[in-house]
């Protein structure tokens, strides 16, 4: 059995070194070398773009850190608020107990003074006990009032008018994040509302309506020009 033999011939084209150099020089020039590109100065537009990107990254990082700190402070505030509520409840219970003791002391003081009762600073001990209990009672009532003043309260805010988004900003959080208002469609116009939890005090606020600063006629104003804001008083 005969095997067919296939003969492969290599066809080559002679290329000289000079020809190869000329081809290589056409594809790559010295002007495109990395060293040449790095040595070229940046244009004003390129430099401004790099600086803008750098500043944007710094601002984004700062904003992220501020938001994290704000969330942490809000959590701490909620913890303090819960502690205030519990403390106020305990004071209220103590106030009721002291009030009951005051009533008993009054009853004892009005009854006849037993013979041989001693005196303190010229007063019989029954009258002295009544005076001390009344003083403690008044002190407790003042403390309950102070705790109530330090406790945060829910404050309703609203904006009336056609808009896509409404946000209230203000000194209540250092003009950092603000609070978005929820829309309530009521007939011919839209009402936006939200509830802020604030401690008693005076706050400056301003509404951001579709990206534009607006003042509400429902609140008094303070300041002038660009610094004019609405005044929110929490009692």
Domain boundaries, the chain: 44-151, 153-234
Residue 7, token pair as written in the block: 């003969």
At 181, give phi and psi (nearest 5°). Answer: -95, 140
d(CA 177, CA 196): 13
pLDDT tens series, the chain, 235 aa: 444 444 444 444 454 444 544 444 444 455 555 555 455 666 777 767 777 777 777 777 776 776 676 666 667 777 777 777 787 788 888 888 888 888 877 777 777 666 666 666 656 677 777 888 888 888 888 887 777 777 788 899 999 988 989 999 999 989 988 999 998 877 667 889 999 989 889 999 999 999 999 999 999 999 999 899 999 999 8
Q: Does the structural domain 153-234 have CATH classification 2.60.40.10?
A: yes
- Secondary structure of the chain as H, E, C letters: CCCCCCCCCCCCCCCCHHHHHHHHHHHCCHHHCHHHHHHCCCCHHHHHHHHHHHHHHHHHHHHHHHHHHHHHHHHHHHHHHHHHHHHHHHHHHHHHHHHHHHHHHHHHHHCCCCCCCCEECCEEHHHHHHHHHHHHHHHHHHHHHHHHHHCCEEEEEEEECCCCCEEEEEHHHCCCCCEECEEEEECCEEEEEEEEEECCEEEEEEEEECCEEECCCCCCEECCHHHCEEEEEEC
pTM beyond 0.85:
no
d(CA 126, CA 41): 96
The CB-side HSE value for 11 (13 A sphere, CA atoms) comes to 0
């Amino acid at each position: 059995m005969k095997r067919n033999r296939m003969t492969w011939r290599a066809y080559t084209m002679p290329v000289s070194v000079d020809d190869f150099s000329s081809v290589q020089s056409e594809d790559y020039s010295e002007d495109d070398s990395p060293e040449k590109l790095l040595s070229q100065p940046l244009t004003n537009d390129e430099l401004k773009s790099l600086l803008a990107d750098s500043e944007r990254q710094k601002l984004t990082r700062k904003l992220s850190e501020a938001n994290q700190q704000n969330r942490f402070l809000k959590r701490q505030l909620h913890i303090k608020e819960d502690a205030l509520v519990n403390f106020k409840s305990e004071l209220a219970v103590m106030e009721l107990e002291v009030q009951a003791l005051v009533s008993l002391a009054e009853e004892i003081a009005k009854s006849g003074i037993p013979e041989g009762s001693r005196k303190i600073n010229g007063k019989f001990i029954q009258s002295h006990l009544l005076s001390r209990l009344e003083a403690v009672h008044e002190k407790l009532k003042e403390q309950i009032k102070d705790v109530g003043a330090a406790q945060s309260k829910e404050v309703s805010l609203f904006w009336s008018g056609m808009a896509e988004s409404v946000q209230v900003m203000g000194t209540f959080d250092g003009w950092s994040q603000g609070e978005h208002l929820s829309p309530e469609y009521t007939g011919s116009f839209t009402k936006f509302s939200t509830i802020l939890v604030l401690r008693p005090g005076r706050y400056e606020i301003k509404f951001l309506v579709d990206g534009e600063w607006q003042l509400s006629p429902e609140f008094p104003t303070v300041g002038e020009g660009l610094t004019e804001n609405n005044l929110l008083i929490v009692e």
